[in-house]
Every structure is written in structure tokens, then in C-alpha cells.
Amino acid sequence: MSIKHRKKRNFHTPVLSLADQARKNGQHAGYDAGKEEGYLRGRANYIVNCAQEPLPFRQIHVLYVSSGKGFPYSPLDEAIMATLQGMVAQVTLTDPRQPVSEIALQNRPDLVLVLDGMDIPLEHIDAIRQAGIPTAIWLTDDPYYTDMTMERVHHFDHIFTLELNCVELYRQSGCASVHYLPFAAFTNHYFPITTPSPLHRDVSFIGSAYWNRVYFFNPIMAQIMSHNTVFNGIWWDRLPGYEAYGEKIEHGRWMSPQETNDVYNGTKIVINLHRSHEDDSVNNNHLKIPPASPNPRTFEISASATLQLTDARDDLARFYKPGVEIETYSSPQELLDKVEYYLTHEKERREIALRGLERTLKEHTYGRRINEMLTIIFP
């Protein structure tokens, strides 16, 4: 049969039902999301495994006095103790409930390091100093409780504060050795996981509902919650109409570092909003010293390789480059705008998160901070 006499055939593309088309679109979307997450985790794993500059090991003995306060201070104690044990020849552990001065005089450490120091009897510190043993305190909550810290810092040889604006305060009060030393990321607690996260959220916020946070979020809560969003922390029943959000607000539960890291890893955007220095309902800061320094969560979120949206503090750029290694906002509307933007710009979101991870591992670990401390004390 000639070509021109062949019977014409109609080849029609099958018409998919709406359900089949939706299923197909979902498969493509799931494939794309899995590909993006796989790329992020692969890159993050490479950054984690890159060799970091080694830290010096010192032949010294440190007596570490924990905060004695339990959770949420205990993860800080764990981070410092574990880091010290890998950096010095001997670490002796104790807490404010023990006879610290007797322990120090029996063991004769090269340094007594106290975290927080609000519960330790000051006569113990005085006796240790009189015996010629150097003492140091690492303050945990500046500037929010400076009414109390001002009464204690004079009993120590070296003062380390996580708040830049408190350095001059303590120096002017007569303390000779005062140093700015923020907390950091403990990479045993906060790190990018290598397998797909069991959690899948667009936005997360973890933190107590201080009044400034309630006032900030309340006008935009509906828009934030329109995404796959979860808030966690105590006091969120202060939020007007919080019951309407159901399981989107996990109210009244402290999260362990492991649970927190799981949330960070399973969230596209983690919001950080610092507490206010003017909230007299929880603060003891009658001088109203304003904070300039980032909180510990700043480093912990970035260590988990997720995009952090934080309110800008004056000293933030010392640690991360805004728009490159971290993202900032200065108003509720700007927060909403950037949430919308980064939820639809995966590549930009991912690259900022990875650069933040890399900066954290190079500069903002407890190993780096404690090495800086020991270098000051033992030059």
C-alpha cells in the first residue's frame, strides 16, 4: 500500500482526570523537594566534615562549678564541661550546693570557672582567691539581671559576659579583668542531620512568650500560621486567642536540645526574636542597659543548617553577615515579607543557611570561645 493510501490514524494524548493530574503534580513536587533537601544535607555534611583548625591543648587543671539551676541551664553546663574535657589535662566538676572552697583547696586547680554564679556562696569564692587560685565567672543572662550580677562580679578575678554593653559597666564599677565572650553552638547538640528529617515545617519559633514577643507576633499571627508553622515555649497562653491555633502552638513545654535540633533541621525558616531589656516583670535591670549582642540561639540555629530570620542587634554583624550568612528583619511586616520570599526561593534560602553553618563551625563553637577565655587567663 502506498503511503498516500494508508489509513490515517489519530494519536491522542490521554486526558488525565483532575485526580490523576493532581497526583502527578504531587509526585513532581515531592521529587523536587526531596532533591533540594538531599542537596542541602549533602552540602551541609561536606561542610561539617571539612577539617577545622585544631585548638591548643593545655596542661592545666580546671575546677568547673556548674550553674546548679538545672534545665534550661544544664545544656550550657554540658557544653562547657564536655568542651573543657577535650582541651585541658584535668577537669573537676562540682556545683554550688557543694563545699566548693574545700574542693578547690584540696585539689589546687589552676582555675576555678563558675557558670552563672548566682547560687554560689560568695565566701567560697573569697576563700579560693585568698588561697591564690584564679577565679573566673561566665555570666549567662546579661543585661537582664545586672542588678544582681553587679553585687557578685567583684568577688572574681576574671569576668566574662555574653553582652557587649555590660563590659564597660563592670569595668567602671572597678573590675579589672572584664571580657566580652558570647556563648556559642555546641555541635554535639546542634548539627545538620544527614538523613531526611521526620519533621516538615515551613516556619518554627522556639522560645518563651515574653511580652515583647506577644506584642510583636499578635498582629501577624494569622499570616504566619497560614503556613505550616509551629510555635513552642512557655507562657504562650498570653497570646490573645492562642487556643484557635490548636497544635500549632505547643504551649508550656521545654524542649531538649535533641528535640530542638530536630525542629531546626525539619524547618525551612526558623525565627529568632530576642527578649526585651525593659520588661520589669521578669528582668532585674533598673539601669535599663540595652542589649547589643545576639542570644545563644543565634549560633545554635545556624549550626543546624537552616535559614534563620532574626531581629537585628547592633553587634550581630560581628558574627554573621546579614543577607549572606543570616537574614534579619526590623518590623512585623518585613518578617512576613521575608518569610514569603524565602519559602518560594529555595536556592537563596539554602545558600544562606549553608554559609551560616560554615561560619558557625569556623568561629562560633564552644571550643573557640573557651580557647579565647583560657588565652586571656593564661597568656
Domains by residue range for the chain, with CATH: 58-184+366-377 (3.40.50.2300), 201-363 (3.40.50.2000)
Instruction: Return the C-alpha cell found at 345.
Output: 526561593
Please check whether residue 116 is in contact with residue 140, taking contact to mean a CB–CB distance below 8 angstroms: yes
The per-residue pLDDT for 53 is 87
The per-residue pLDDT for 4 is 47
Write the pLDDT tens digit of every residue in 309-360: 999 999 999 999 999 999 999 999 999 999 999 999 999 999 999 999 999 9
Position 238 pLDDT exceeds 80: yes
The average confidence (pLDDT) of the chain is 93
The per-residue pLDDT for 198 is 87
What is the rounded distance in angstroms from the CA atom of residue 254 to the CA atom of residue 234?
7
The per-residue pLDDT for 253 is 85
Position 2 pLDDT exceeds 50: no
| Inter-CA distances, 374 with 62, 251, 365, Å | 10, 40, 15
Write the pLDDT tens digit of every residue in 269-306: 999 999 999 999 999 999 999 999 999 999 999 999 99
Helix (H) or strand (E) holding 355: helix 346-363
Q: How are beta strands 88-94 and 111-115 bridged, if at all?
A: unpaired
Max Cα-Cα span within the chain: 113
Mean pLDDT of 14-41: 64
Res. 32 pLDDT band, cuts 50 70 90:
low
Please check whether residue 277 is in contact with residue 288, taking contact to mean a CB–CB distance below 8 angstroms: yes
Please check whether residue 309 is in contact with residue 273, taking contact to mean a CB–CB distance below 8 angstroms: no
Length of the chain: 379
Q: Tell me the whole-structure pTM to 2 decimals.
A: 0.90
Handedness of CA 325, 326, 327, 330 (dihedral sign): negative
Write the pLDDT tens digit of every residue in 73-88: 999 999 999 999 999 9
* C-alpha gyration radius of the chain: 26
The per-residue pLDDT for 39 is 87
The per-residue pLDDT for 24 is 55
